[in-house]
Amino acid sequence: MDKVLMAVIHACCAGLDVHKKVIQACIRLFNERGEVVMKFREFGTTTRELLALAAWLGEHQVTHVAMESTGVFWKPVFNVLEAQCEVLLCNARHVKNVPGRKTDLKDCEWLAQLLQCGLLRGSFIPPLPQRELRDLTRSRASLQDDKARVANRIHKILEDANIKLGSVATDVLGVTGREILRRLMGGEREPAALAQSARGRLKQKKAQLVAALEGRVSEHHRFMLRLEWAQLRGLEALIERLDARIEMQMARPELSPVETQRASPEAPEAHEGTKASKPLQALPFLAAAKLLDGMWGINQCSAENILAEIGTDMSQFPSAQHFASWAGMCPGNNESAGKQKSGKTTKGNRWLRRALTQAAWAAIHAKKSYFRALYYRLAPRRGKQRALVAVAHSMLITIYHMLKCHTAYADLGPDHFDRRNKERSTRNLIQRLEALGYRVALAPKAA
């Protein structure tokens, strides 16, 4: 039994300390005299044991359960308890106990105590159809990484054979590169004959291509190329299967979220006597993907990767700032004695961060993009890496408002910062010209 020193939020709740083979469970409830009673039990992690755990919790009418996010071990527990009670998946950093009191029983007891007093905040766990979509997109991303590694190994084999194809062709695995590889594996040796496979702009570089293809390809090199080629084709076939499965998963009706209340961060809350805004139904995944496809740097594949991580219902995030913090795409808070220390980004969703930085890298290469202007505004003083993360953060905030308000992307333009402060831009340009030795006199342009 334990005394209640804080306000009780949940009358009957439980804490679970989940491991690979065993689960320690603690239930906190009140007896007839109003005292807190704790009950402990140990369960295994097999399906039969998890069903016994669910029955034990149901017997005591437990309404809320808390557990730490321990690798993938929490997933079977969550899948069994999800329909029975509210399950909070907590960040292990947020529930650290007092040092020196570290046992499995103390851990589950501490979780139950924090949960009963309402001191825990659960992580965002999407519904099952979206979790399945996440598995597909993350598997595709892993296979794409494997494909890139295979491409690098093919490039190394060619370099070992003194075939300088990468020095002439931008993509060794492009149309021309693949045809040359097939002929090399087939036993072709003559550089002039191999150069006949040139397509597109490489036709204008035939002389350079002939010189680059004059190497020393042995039977060992051909064997290694065939080995890597087979793996490459196998990975591409798997990626194509995943693309088809993702397209089918995106069209599932279960992925169309329920109606949510429209509440723009800029709009004030409705007062008494005023007409409340009508509920706005969250976009289906296909419509949301089409909406994101209109942004600079985002194509169908990256839109699928982003939506699989965040969903389309933005009402689950209180604001755009909370959304960016959850994704780990904003500066961290580290202040002491009035001094701001390291503000490096927090650890968030690495798959979302990967998709956003890839989209940001593509967006800054579009000459008419606002994101390009933002990047080159920050890169000279903050560095290229920080500037890229800042662009990804700006894109994430934009995505939040697009999905929340169902609005299409409207680019601010590459001259946005010049138009925002025209006088400062004019003064800086004049100073640069005067530093180069010119005398500048401005005259207004005729209407």
pLDDT digits (tens, 9 = 90+) for 393-419: 999 999 999 999 999 999 998 888 888
Mean pLDDT of 207-211: 90
Q: 3-class SS at 393? A: helix
Residue of 397, 257, 395 lying closest to 316 (CA atoms): 257
Residue 278 pLDDT level (bands cut at 50, 70, 90):
low
Task: Tell me how far CA of residue 158 lies from CA of 162, 163, 173, 180, 377, in angstroms.
Answer: 6, 5, 12, 11, 40
Residue 166 pLDDT level (bands cut at 50, 70, 90):
confident
Its CATH architecture, for the domain 13-116, is: 2-Layer Sandwich (3.30)
Amino acid at 388: L
User: How far, in Å, CA of 164 to CA of 279, rounded?
Assistant: 61
The DSSP secondary structure of 2-14, one letter per residue, reads B---S--S-SSEE
Which pLDDT value is given to residue 234?
96
Residue 99 pLDDT level (bands cut at 50, 70, 90):
low
Residue 158 has pLDDT above 80, yes or no: yes
Residue tagged 């590169």 (tokens):
177
Which pLDDT value is given to residue 261?
40
**Could you check whether 13-116 and 131-250 share the same CATH topology?**
no
Q: What is the pLDDT of residues 220-239, one digit of tens each?
A: 999 999 999 999 999 999 99
Mean pLDDT is highest, among 85-94, 288-297, 437-446, for 288-297
Say which residue, 173 or 96, is predicted with more confidence. Answer: 173
Q: Which runs of consecutive H residues, i.e. helices, occur in 44-103?
A: 47-59, 74-81
Residue 113 has pLDDT above 50, yes or no: yes
User: How far, in Å, CA of 414 to CA of 369, rounded?
Assistant: 5
Residue-averaged pLDDT of the chain: 86
Residues in the chain: 447
User: How far, in Å, CA of 375 to CA of 359, rounded?
Assistant: 13
Residue of 447, 407, 377 lying closest to 292 (CA atoms): 407
Q: What is the pLDDT of residues 50-70, one digit of tens each?
A: 999 999 999 999 999 999 887
Evaluate whether 363 touches 296 at the Cβ level (below 8 Å). yes
Residue 164 has pLDDT above 80, yes or no: yes
Residue 420 pLDDT level (bands cut at 50, 70, 90):
confident
Residue 244 pLDDT level (bands cut at 50, 70, 90):
very high
| Six-digit token string for 193 | 């004959």
Cα torsion angle, 314, 317, 321, 325, sign: negative
Q: Which residues touch 384 (CB under 8 Å, ≥6 apart)?
A: none
Q: Where are the domains of the chain?
A: 13-116, 131-250, 280-331+347-447
Mean pLDDT is highest, among 169-178, 231-240, 336-345, for 231-240
Q: Selecting from 3.30.450, 1.25.40, 3.40.50, 1.10.287, what CATH number does the domain 131-250 have?
A: 1.10.287
Residue 258 has pLDDT above 60, yes or no: no
Residue 390 has pLDDT above 50, yes or no: yes
Which pLDDT value is given to residue 268?
37
Residue 100 pLDDT level (bands cut at 50, 70, 90):
low
Residue of 314, 285, 283, 320 lying closest to 130 (CA atoms): 285
Which pLDDT value is given to residue 257?
53
Mean pLDDT of 348-369: 92
Say which residue, 91 or 399, is predicted with more confidence. Answer: 399
Residue 276 has pLDDT above 80, yes or no: no
CA atoms within 13 A on the CB side of 52: 12
- Can you give the pTM of this predicted structure? 0.83
Which pLDDT value is given to residue 1?
46
Q: Which residues touch 200 (CB under 8 Å, ≥6 apart)?
A: 175, 176
